[in-house]
Amino acid sequence: MTEQLKVLSLFSGIGAFEEALNKLNINYNLNNYCEFEPTASKAYSIIHNVSEDLNLGDITKVDETKLENFDLMTYGFPCQDISALGDMKGFTDEKGNLTRSGLFFEAMRIAKYKKPKYMVAENVRMLASKKFKNDLSAMLKLLDDIGYNSYWKVLNSKDYGIPHSRNRIYIISIRKDIDDGQFEFPAPIELTKKASDYYDSFASEDHYLRESDMKYLSEFRLKKKYSSLNSDVIVCQTTKQGNLANPQNFVKDEKGYRVMTSRELLSLQGFKKSYADKLLQNGITKEQIGKLSGNSITVDVLEHIFKNLLHTNYTIK
């Protein structure tokens, strides 16, 4: 009988880690997920067909002593205070209080007590920059102190089969008593698909730009690659992508200029298009789906990471 992987998902969003495990046909049990934002929690429950009763909610209120044991902890902790698009305060503000990105330490509180075999984190590339060099070093030292060997690298989604330029840092931590020192990040693969392969044949009128929205489709933004228009590889999705105001990626067709549909956005993060249909049917708007997609992690990158991380102990397709 194949060993079952027990999973705790923190800062879950719409569950990219879980989707990667599903796509690899890994036998796993979701102990709990933890998502503070109500719309994201609802979307997670719809996509993964689980009860919202599994949601731990506010991570600062999670009692680690009452959690069931788990093998894998995933934690794509908030990027707002690290991202170049945010205020870049780092893990603490001017008063020494934890920022949203500082919730990393709440994840470590749980990890220190529960000691899972593996932990996987994802965040924006800026965490690996000179500005946050000391923060990253402090993170790695803390992981080392609580008993983990950690490996990190910045990976781009377009190098793992998805036509989406999205650089993110991935941190893989393996408990020292089981780490054989053999983990390697997956090598890039040839990109064989274009963004147009993901386009829908129909988009409703509310996806098409109004005259006032055309300012976002400027030559300057296209030249600087802040935006893309019918590009083979889209620029990085952000939380604005589902809106007509200040999105990043545009499609021009016979009807005019439009933003990408919810189905297109999710599929360009590695999720099934049908998930967008389910979310829309359950009252989640295209703007909300755009935000959820922009906040998510590219599933295909995680698939390749899990293949390298879990192949010795778990059956992988």
The three-state secondary structure class of 29 is strand
Q: Specify if 317 maps to a domain.
A: no
Helix (H) or strand (E) holding 145: helix 133-145
236 catalytically annotated? no
Whole-angstrom distance, CA of residue 35 vs CA of residue 63: 15
DSSP structure class, residue 164: B
- One domain for residues 226 and 88: no
Question: Do residue 124 and residue 236 come from a single domain?
Answer: no
CATH code: domain of residue 128: 3.40.50.150
Q: Within this chain, do residues 87 and 236 fall inside the same structural domain, yes or no?
A: no
| pTM of the predicted protein model | 0.94
Half-sphere exposure of residue 24: CA atoms within 13 angstroms, side-chain side? 26
Note the pLDDT tens digit of each residue in 38-64: 999 999 999 999 999 999 999 999 999
Count of the separate structural domains present in the chain: 2
**131-168 pLDDT tens trace:** 888 889 989 999 999 999 999 999 999 999 999 999 99
Residue 213 lies in a domain: yes
Residue range of the domain that includes 173: 5-189+297-310
Shared domain check, 166 and 45: yes
Once rounded to an integer, what is the mean pLDDT over residues 13-17? 98
Q: Is the pLDDT reported for residue 1 higher than 50?
A: no
Query: Is 315 within a domain?
Result: no
180 and 205, same domain (yes or no): no
Least-confidence region, from 72-81, 116-125, 132-141: 72-81
Contact 307, 2 (CB under 8 A): no
- Residue 243, domain CATH: 3.90.120.10
Residues 58 and 11 in one domain: yes
Q: What is the mean pLDDT of residues 117-137?
A: 90
Same domain? 36 vs 96? yes
For residues 68, 69, 74, 78, the Cα torsion angle rounded to the nearest 10 degrees is 50
Residue 131: its pLDDT value, please? 84
**Are 53 and 182 members of one domain?**
yes
Which token pair is 303?
């698939």
Same domain? 117 vs 240: no
Asked if residue 137 and residue 227 are part of one domain, the reply reads no
* pLDDT for res 294: 95
Same domain, 177 and 38: yes
Q: Which of 47, 79, 234, 284 is catalytic?
A: 79
